[in-house]
Amino acid sequence: MVSIKDIAKSLGVSTATVSKALNNKIGVSKEIRLRVLNKAKELGYITNNLARGMKTSKTFTIGVLISDITNPFFSEVILSMERVLYAKKYNLIICNVGENSEREREYLELLVSKKVDGIIAAPTADGQNMSVYRNLIRHGMKIVLFDRLISKIETDFVVIDNKAAIYDVVRYLAKMGHRKIGVIYGIESSYTGCERLKGFREAVKDLGLESHEEWIKSGYFMESESHKCALDILKEKERPTAMIATNDFTTLGIMRAAKEIGLKIPRDLSVIGFDDLEWMSIYSPPITTISQPTDVIGMSAATLLLDRIENNDTRRPRHVILKATLIERESVSKIQTRNV
């Protein structure tokens, strides 16, 4: 590999000069700068970012910690982050940790050892590594949390108003005449799981809908588990007229269960999905769903982090709270309310 030393030698100048020329710093004559630049190209010089990182303690690398890249929600968010970060020459190290907090801890340490300039993370559900995050922050690591939160951590984050999202959906269903509503929620210990469930319970209570604990089950944000739960709920004699999903895997699980039992949507069962995936709009019927603004989430998180890094912004934590929107399609039926 060719280094600035090689350029310096072959030009008979010092490495200091070469460095200045290459980095567009002042203190080099136009002529020499040009000769350096040409020689660099000629020799095929490529900066060694390890060495540069050692001196400048800046690596232009951002760690991104998520549970699963295979989940379209995360992959869309990441694409959006990359768009803004790439424009500023930053790279992403992606860490899939599943729901494994041990792995989360390991990856976090790895990111530190690689001297990333910052971390964007959707922490694991159990919040096991709260102290790790806190420690990192105390040591000056810039961290932006998204999707999931760890309470009592003083740092920037961007989330959607999960409670309101589900609350609104229940209200929408009530407006459509539904009084028996079931939900497959996620991991109760997780921020999103908990908030979404809360929104459901509150709405059911506020709106005076029928309340059946057996219609509220945890699918652990997984398709298989959600499928099982949905089956349990829908096979009962007295079953809800509408089901709400709380992430894209639970949507799939509910749909599969309905199909297996032979429930026609929306005639026999209304369904509200979560996240707006492309297939939902071409499904028969097209699925009404809750849509998270993945692009805004990714952009916001990246922008917040960039701000901290580049402007060494050290003001108090900023919180971005986004709204999810209901995309009305045709998987919800209108129910004639009999007189109450």
> Contact residues for a second copy (CB under 8 A)?
1, 44, 46-51, 53-54, 59, 61, 68-70, 72, 75-76, 78-79, 82, 91-96, 109-110, 112-115, 135, 139, 223, 252, 255-256, 259, 277-279, 281-284
Please tell me whether residue 88 binds DNA under the rule CB under 7 A.
no
Q: Is the dihedral of CA 207, 208, 210, 211 positive or negative?
A: positive
* Contact in structure between 118 and 141 (CB atoms under 8 Å): yes
Alpha helix (H) ranges present in 177-222?
Answer: 191-206
Please tell me whether residue 38 binds DNA under the rule CB under 7 A.
no
Tokens representing 120 are 């964007």
**Cβ closest to DNA, residue 47 vs residue 211:** 47
Smallest distance, a second copy to C-beta of residue 6, A: 14
Q: Using CB under 7 A, which residues numbered 3 to 22 contact DNA?
A: 3-5, 12-17, 19-20, 22
**Cβ closest to DNA, residue 135 vs residue 224:** 135
Please enumerate, as own/partner, the contacts of 43-46 that have beta carbons within 8 Å and a separation of 24 or more.
43/2, 43/6, 43/7, 43/10, 44/2, 45/2, 45/3, 45/4, 45/6, 45/7, 46/1, 46/2
Please tell me whether residue 112 binds DNA under the rule CB under 7 A.
no
* Contact in structure between 234 and 256 (CB atoms under 8 Å): no
How many CB atoms sit inside 10 A of residue 258's CB? 20
Smallest distance, a second copy to C-beta of residue 92, A: 6
Please tell me whether residue 61 binds DNA under the rule CB under 7 A.
no
The interface partner of residue 282, options being a second copy, DNA, none and the CB cut-off 5 to 8 Å by kind, is a second copy
* Contact in structure between 329 and 289 (CB atoms under 8 Å): yes
**Cβ closest to DNA, residue 17 vs residue 226:** 17
**Cβ closest to DNA, residue 20 vs residue 256:** 20
The interface partner of residue 29, options being a second copy, DNA, none and the CB cut-off 5 to 8 Å by kind, is DNA
The interface partner of residue 28, options being DNA, a second copy, none and the CB cut-off 5 to 8 Å by kind, is DNA
**Cβ closest to DNA, residue 52 vs residue 201:** 52
* Count of residues in contact with DNA, rule CB under 7 A: 29
DSSP class per residue in 129-178: THHHHHHHHHTT--EEEESS--TT--SEEEEE-HHHHHHHHHHHHHHTT-
DSSP bridge pairs for 317:
none
* Contact in structure between 289 and 280 (CB atoms under 8 Å): yes
* Contact in structure between 132 and 108 (CB atoms under 8 Å): yes
The interface partner of residue 25, options being DNA, a second copy, none and the CB cut-off 5 to 8 Å by kind, is DNA
* Contact in structure between 86 and 62 (CB atoms under 8 Å): no
Smallest distance, DNA to C-beta of residue 33, A: 7
Distance between CA atoms of residues 272 and 219, nearest Å: 15
Please tell me whether residue 205 binds DNA under the rule CB under 7 A.
no
The interface partner of residue 82, options being a second copy, DNA, none and the CB cut-off 5 to 8 Å by kind, is a second copy
Helix (H, G, I), strand (E, B) or coil at 182: strand
The interface partner of residue 15, options being DNA, a second copy, none and the CB cut-off 5 to 8 Å by kind, is DNA
The interface partner of residue 96, options being a second copy, DNA, none and the CB cut-off 5 to 8 Å by kind, is a second copy
The interface partner of residue 17, options being a second copy, DNA, none and the CB cut-off 5 to 8 Å by kind, is DNA
